[in-house]
Each structure stands twice: as C-alpha cells, then as structure tokens.
Structure 1
C-alpha cells in the first residue's frame, strides 16, 4: 500500500471515530426543552435504527433516526397512531467528505458524519401533549435545549407536513 492512500485512510478513520462521538446521552438530570419538558433519554444511542436521512443545501447534514422499543414495534408493525411511550430520536452531523473512501472509489463521492449538530426528540403521550397531536418535542445542541422560539416551530411544521403519518416524517427503512 502506498504511503499517501494509507495516510488518507488513517485520517478518514480518525475522523469517523471522532464523528461517532456526540453530545452526552443525558438523562433526568439534564435540562428539559422549553414548552414540552422533553429531555434527552439516557441510552438513546443504543436504540434501533429506524432510518437515515440526508439534508443537503444549507443544513448539509447526515442524520440517523433511532427508536425506543415501543417506537420500533410500531414502525415494524405499521401501527398508526403511534402508541403512548413511543420515543424517536434524530441525531444529526455535518456532512464531511470521506478522503479514504473517495481515494478507494477514485472520485469525490463518499461522505461520513462530521461535527455533531443537533439531537431532536419526539415523545408520544396523548394526555400530556394533547394540544400538539400527542407529541412532545425537544431540540438540543451540545446537550442543551434550544430556546422556546425554536420549539414553537416544531408542531406547526409536523402538523402541516406529516399529519397523515401521526405527525412523524420518518418512514421505516427495513
């Protein structure tokens, strides 16, 4: 193996390892989101993968959407509306070109997670969040909730664009 591809591979591997680390998982002691009181669930990074997404343009993010066991059962079974206890977590990173993969593929076309951007949480509780379709929302940057103004935009967007799927954008990708 030539020295330059080996160095490129080592650099890309290092970036992937660093990128896989995100904000702390959090738990009950962390700050709750304004309006909804949603917290980052402890251990959410060990939940199952529902789907992935890519946001191009200004956001330029790669996203992984994870579900707790209640969410996963509902997604797999196609259950709508989602049952109370469903929790969905979206973890997002800046998209970063993969030097190692690009070298192996012969052109610039591969991407990996870069710096973490946000963790977004949706919690289904029909009673507690009756005014917002049964869902509570939390958006966190660096483990801290964003301001109230950002949280005020959550339900209107989901209501306008995902009402037919119990206000959830994500579809299960088996």
Structure 2
C-alpha cells in the first residue's frame, strides 16, 4: 500500500527512499467498511484522505433534506471537506464509504510540517490542489451550462469505471437529474 502512495506522489515529484520514508511518516492509515462515515457534517474534519482502495462520496444535505453529491473518490484520488480542513472548522460535508475502503490521511499540521521540511511535497500538494480546482470548475460549469445528456456523456468519458461501481440513483444525483431521466439515456 505504501508503494501505491509513492506512485501517486511520484507522478508529480520524484523522491529518494529517505524522502519517501520521511513523507510517509507524516501520514496515517485507516480502513473503513461500506456505509461507514469518514466525515460527518458538524464534526471536525482535520484530515485530507488519499484512497488506496474503495469508493467514497462527499455530499451536502440542504435545509429541505435533499442530498447534493459534491464528489466521488476512488483509488488514487483525494477527498476531504476542504473548508473544514484548511480553516480548521467543523465539516459542512459528509463523506461516507460506498465500498470497503483503505486510505492514507494527513492532518493539516502534518501537511504544513512536511511541506516546510520537504519542498518537493509542497509542490506535489500545490499540483494536486490545482487539479482539484480545475475539476471543480469543470463540474460547476457543466451543471450551469450543459444539458443532462451532455453532463452524462462527460461523466462517462471522464470516469468510465464509476459507471459500473455506482448505483444509477447516485449517478443521477451527482449529475443533478432524476433517476428516470438517467434511465432514458443510452449507456455508452
């Protein structure tokens, strides 16, 4: 599992064995079962999580009780409640496991220490944050400007493996459409 984290980091920066051992010492490991919460709204959310195995979703429940899916995260992806993580506040998002999950996590304090000591890791986290901002912008623009079928096509193109791993109701919720609308779309 350590090698999986190292591969993720080394897609962006190369680390010596000593540098990787030092970086790894700032992370912790956790395993969760399907349906278990990683983060619950209202609780502290002091960690950013790297998914080694499994599938999670982050979601917000509005005042009317409607669930809004913000993100899915599968192997090789990161997930947290960014507002709570960076501002050291309580979570506004929930994150739960859609499959049994294994992940590495890092606190904001350990991340800051690691980045101060190993500039390569600061660069790594900056690149990962930028990629996350770009994905979020793409998602917001898609919800604002694309028709349901276009959003579905984009989802299938970007995340083909999720089509088999997620119930259609969750895909529909993520796309902001009804389950019935999704069922009328051709599966590509």
- Under TM normalisation by the shorter chain, which class is it? under 0.3
Q: Which has the higher strand share?
A: 1
Give me the TM-score of the superposition, normalised by structure 2: 0.24
Give me the TM-score of the superposition, normalised by structure 1: 0.26
